[in-house]
Every structure is written in structure tokens, then in C-alpha cells.
């Protein structure tokens, strides 16, 4: 199975700050990576697919990059409503494994 790691596991940032999360796969997954946002008590929401493509309706302050084994997710200007846990997920091969998540809160 492909293992996914994320860092940091949590972070605190001020509103308006740039936030960056990294995700690493245990083997080459090309660009077959999703990023999800999950707010407390809610279902996950798909933000980015194919490592860098924004899902329809997602604000452009969210972005993703990377290919192979190393990926980055960025919020260019953190908004208070974006307090959530963010997960990467590979879909290069089954089982479709998730990263452990990065919890983002406001300083």
C-alpha cells in the first residue's frame, strides 16, 4: 500500500497569513492526489484534484502543486472560516490512502 505523510500535524496562523502544508507519498504517484478540507463535525470537502486543479467553486486562494512523491497545499491568505483539518489522498493505486491530516487554527 502507498503510505502518505503530512507536515506539520498542526499549525496556528493569523488571519491573512500564507499557510503551507506538505504531503509526501511513499512511492511515485504521478499527480494523482486530492486535497480535502474537513471542518469540525462536517463531511470532508474536495478542494483540489490532480495535485493542482481547483474543484469547481473553490476560492482561488487555495492552490496545490507537486508531482511524483512531494506535494504542497497553500492557502494564500487564511480566512477565519478556513479553520479545519486538511487531508491529502492518493488515488494512484488502491487502496486510496489518506494522509494523517493537518489541523489549522487561528492564532
Partner 1 sequence: QVQLVESGGGVVQPRRSLRLSCAASGFTFSLYGMHWVRQAPGKGLEWVAVTWYDGSKEYYADSVKGRFTVSRDNSKNTLYLQMNSLRAEDTAVYFCARDAMRGPPNTEGMAGSDYWGLGTLVTVSS
**Chain positions contacting partner 1, by CB under 8 A:** 1, 30, 32, 34, 36, 38, 42-46, 49-50, 55, 85, 87, 89, 91-101
Q: Is the dihedral of CA 32, 47, 77, 88 positive or negative?
A: negative
CB 87 to partner 1: min, Å: 6
Residue closer to partner 1, measured from CB, 81 or 94: 94
Q: Which is nearer to partner 1, 52 or 76 (CB)?
A: 52
Q: How far is the CB of 67 from partner 1 (least distance, A)?
A: 13
CB of 77 to partner 1, least distance (A): 25
| Helix, strand and coil in the chain, % to nearest 5 | 5, 50, 50
CB of 14 to partner 1, least distance (A): 26
CB closer to partner 1 out of 17 and 55: 55
What cell numbers appear for 46 in the block? 474536495
The residues, any chain, with a CB within 8 Å of residue 19's CB and separated by 6 or more, are 11, 13, 74, 75, 78, 104
Q: How far apart are CA 2 and CA 25, in angstroms?
A: 7
Amino acid at each position: 500500500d502507498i503510505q502518505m505523510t503530512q507536515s506539520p500535524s498542526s499549525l496556528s496562523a493569523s488571519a491573512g497569513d500564507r499557510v503551507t502544508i506538505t504531503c509526501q507519498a511513499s512511492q511515485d504517484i504521478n499527480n494523482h492526489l486530492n486535497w480535502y478540507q474537513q471542518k469540525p463535525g462536517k463531511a470532508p470537502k474536495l478542494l483540489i484534484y490532480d495535485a493542482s486543479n481547483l474543484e469547481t467553486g473553490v476560492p482561488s486562494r487555495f492552490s496545490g502543486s507537486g508531482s511524483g512523491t512531494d506535494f504542497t497545499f497553500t492557502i494564500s491568505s487564511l480566512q477565519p472560516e478556513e479553520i479545519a483539518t486538511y487531508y491529502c489522498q492518493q488515488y494512484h493505486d488502491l487502496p486510496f490512502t489518506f494522509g494523517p491530516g493537518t489541523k489549522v487554527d487561528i492564532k
